[in-house]
Structure 1
Amino acid sequence: MTDNKTLAVEEKLERLWATQDIKDLALRYGLAVDTRDWALMDSLWVETEAIHPDSVLNGGTILDVHVLRAAAADLSLVGASTMLVANHLVEFDSPDRAHGSVYCHCMMDAEVFFEQLIIYQDVYERHDGAWLFRTRDHLLWWGAERKDNPMRQPPAHWPQSQVGAGVAFETIQRPNSSISAKR
């Protein structure tokens, strides 16, 4: 890890730009989950030949491109989700490799409505100028079922009412929706 005080101005600008690109990567991940845009999700990952030894497919907590491809069909069967990306710290190991911590609050309508508070421990790599995930370690702070499922309320008909089920999930699921635009 390089101390920011020793970097030249041009290097600091490059690092600032790279940090924003990496933070956008985490935001795109959340959007891909919520819109079930598996082409977008696939574009966020380094293509690796082997499954990470600690991947979810091997009983661990690591997500990689192989795990996400395997999970796409299952996630498509789940109801609405909202993944909020919060704190995100990025640290550089080299000009083309970094690691970081990302806090997320995920709400998902499955058989039951549940919430999770997650911290992802990520490894990022730059390939052909684009920052990508190499791995994401999905570490759960907590997960909880909600007794009242907010998605099963009567429609809100916003702006007439502030309370009730909205239309966002159906809207962002439409093909060619502007919210799911590719990078």
Structure 2
Amino acid sequence: MSENEGLMARIDRLESLDAIRQLPAKYALALDMRDSDAWVNLFPEDVKVGGGQTGRKALRDWFDETHAMQFDGTSHHIGGHIIDFDDPDHAQGIVYSKNEHECGSEWVIMQMLYFDRYERIDGRWYFRRRLPLYWYASDLNKPPIGDRKMRWPGVAPYHGSFHDLFPTWKSYWAREGRPHDGPVDPPAPLEKFIETMRRDAPLPRPRVRS
């Protein structure tokens, strides 16, 4: 690669980072303002919706039906965002999100993160997939102490899979506070921070709530 090609690749990477970082913020704004067209256009045309359905129209139908039934209003606050590139047109990311939901007589607060896959198509970055992982959801006046911290009105409490993507959570508590054996692992390779932390853990299958 020539010096000019290397410079152009670095500029492209910086522009891609900025475009990808804007995706979760656009997602939150479109969701909170109930602009379902803006929201589904953050995904590619062939987005998989579930139940064998694909496409933005099917995703928009799911969006409109789900949010009309569950929430009177929402606010999504985006936190830290880690991005690793698989190649110039594909990347993955971890995004923290702290959310508030008006659910009738209850005000439900939530802490979660997303495991994202991003893809650039015809010069534009999209979400290829968003996997939501939840720590808790509970009425503002009811701290979610104990197990099964996902506590929506009218729904039996359940586990939200917040820690299930990263096996270190279970191994840490399995040591019961004892020091870690062995040497410190070397730093993760460039663009492999998320993959290194995951240690080939399988993807969890949590319930989907925004």
Structure 2 distance, partners of 1:136, 1:70, is: 15
Name the aligned partner's letter for residue 111 of structure 2.
L
Are the equivalent residues in 2 in contact too, given 1:36–1:76 (CA < 8 A)? no
TM-score of the superposed pair, with normalisation by structure 2:
0.57
What stretches of structure 1 of length at least 5 have no aligned partner? 1-6, 59-63, 149-183
Output the CA distance in 2 between the equivalents of 1:70 and 1:101: 24
Q: Say whether the 8 Å CA contact 1:42–1:69 is kept in structure 2.
A: no
Shift of 1:49: 6.3
**Which ranges of 4 or more aligned residues in structure 1 deviate by more than 4 Å?**
64-68
Cα distance in 2 for partners of 1:49, 1:137 equals 14
In the other structure, the counterpart of 1:119 is 113
What percentage of aligned pairs have identical amino acids?
26
**1:82 to 1:18, Cα distance in 2 relative to 1, 3 A:** same
Point out where structure 2 has 5 or more consecutive residues left out of the alignment. 143-210
Aligned residues of 1:103 and 1:120 also touching (Cα < 8 A)? yes
C-alpha separation in 1, matches of 2:9 and 2:116: 23
- Counterpart of 1:133 in structure 2 is 127
Report whether the alignment pairs 1:72 with 2:70: no
| Residue 142, structure 1, aligned to residue 136, structure 2 | yes
Residues 16-165 of structure 1 aligned to structure 2 (within 5 Å) = 16-48=14-46, 50-51=48-49, 66=58, 69-77=61-69, 78-111=71-104, 112-147=106-141
Aligned residue identity for 1:43: N
Q: CA RMSD in A?
A: 2.3
Aligned residues: 133
Provide the C-alpha distance between the structure 2 equivalents of 1:82 and 1:136, rounded to a whole number of angstroms.
18
TM-score, normalized by length of structure 1? 0.65
Cα 1:138–1:67 shift into 2, 3 Å? farther
**What per-residue deviation string (whole Å, max 9, x for no partner) do you get for residues 17-56 of structure 1?**
10110111110000011100001001100122654xxx5x
